[in-house]
Amino acid sequence: MASRRLGRWVPPVVLAVSMLVLVWPLAAEYGDVVLNHNSDKAGVRPVIFPHWFHRIRFRCKVCHHELGFEMRAGANDVKMRDLTQGKFCGMCHNNEVAWGLENCGLCHSGKPGLAGGIYGGHRTLGPGRW
Amino acid sequence: MARNLVGYLSAITFLAAAVFLVGCDRPGDLESFATKGPPSAEPASVNVPASPPEPVIPWALLAHDNLHDPRNPSLALMQEPAEALSVLSPAQEGNFVNWVAALRSGEISPRTNVYPETKIRVLDLDVLMVDTAAMPVVLFPHRPHTEWLDCSNCHDKIFVAKSGANPVNMFRILQGEFCGQCHGAVSFPLTQCQRCHSVPREQALQAVPK
């Protein structure tokens, strides 16, 4: 009898839990860029650059004008040597403007094998995309 | 027992429906297409549900975004998009943030330069782009753009600085050229037609006498 009464609660509980899990989407944030010219080849995780996080702190012109990042995913061939010399991400990630290059895992945070490019539900690859 | 079975079955059906809905990229997609149609011809007496329910949380968790490696120990140190973006002026799509409003209202104050000697150029000039077929005319505002960007980001890489001198059309924008280099990638997406096509044609004709 007791187990019967308990059983009655299973469907609503399953429902509630599944609703909680399903309210979160499963897609990358809009404007996330994966940089993977060299990372996979060198055996480190691909780099994920989050636009949303940086644009709260910097205007586009800081990176795309002052620091000279080309506005095309994949157009910048970045090597760690450039970063340690203060170029690209290394202009800020130098323990002055932002935390330094020793925090490998914060930049190299992608799933191995990700293709480089822009992610997050963008819709500029032609009408067929949407 | 049979009652329980019915309960389980309905739960499974619900799950399947929910999985399908989540599969449609983001809930915002459904909404934006729903609002784009012609005004509904339903008689007022019919009880039409106002709109599909708002997405409860439109931002994915980093560990489940199909991009970040959940095994990366540094993931725990990073900020979740929902934490930072949910407190800013809302929008229907993209980052679900109206970045123009967020900047104007002072919710965010992103730095304009890193080097002290860099010149900050802001221009307040609206340009009408009238070749829009049956759509309202496009108003291109320099102010919100130059608050974020420098002239050199657009002139003359993407646009010649002369009204009407660029072969812009919607097809090429959708290919990621002209406005589509930013809109649809980082700035608000191309599904938000009315933010660009914002001036009714009659009004535009009054503003620029032919």
- Going along chain A from its start, the domains and CATH numbers come out as 29-124 (3.90.10.10)
Q: Nearest residue of A to residue B155 by CA position? A: A65
pLDDT in tens, A43-52: 999 999 999 9
**Per-residue b/e over B66-102, b at no fewer than 16 CB within 10 Å?**
ebbbeebebbeebeebbebbeebbebbbbbbbbbbeb
- Complex confidence, ipTM: 0.79
In this structure, are B187 and B133 located in the same domain? yes
**Rounded to two decimals, what is the model's pTM?**
0.87
pLDDT grade, residue B37 (50/70/90)?
Answer: very low
In this structure, are B99 and B84 located in the same domain? yes
pLDDT in tens, B91-110: 988 999 999 999 999 999 99
What distance in Å separates the CA atoms of residue B194 and residue B188, rounded to the nearest whole number?
11
Question: Domain span at residue B129?
Answer: 115-210
Size of interface A-B (CB pairs under 8 A): 197
Structural domain tally of chain B? 3
- Distance in Å, alpha carbon of B99 to nearest chain A alpha carbon: 9
Diameter over CA atoms, chain B: 78
What distance in Å separates the CA atoms of residue B103 and residue A61, rounded to the nearest whole number?
15
In this structure, are B136 and B191 located in the same domain? yes
Q: Is B147 inside any structural domain?
A: yes
Judged by CB atoms closer than 8 Å, whether chains meet at B114 and A62 is answered as: yes
Judged by CB atoms closer than 8 Å, whether chains meet at A48 and B176 is answered as: no
Q: Is B51 inside any structural domain?
A: no
Q: Is the pLDDT of residue B18 over 50?
A: no
Pairing of strands B137-141, B126-129: antiparallel
In this structure, are B119 and B210 located in the same domain? yes
- Distance in Å, alpha carbon of A126 to nearest chain B alpha carbon: 5
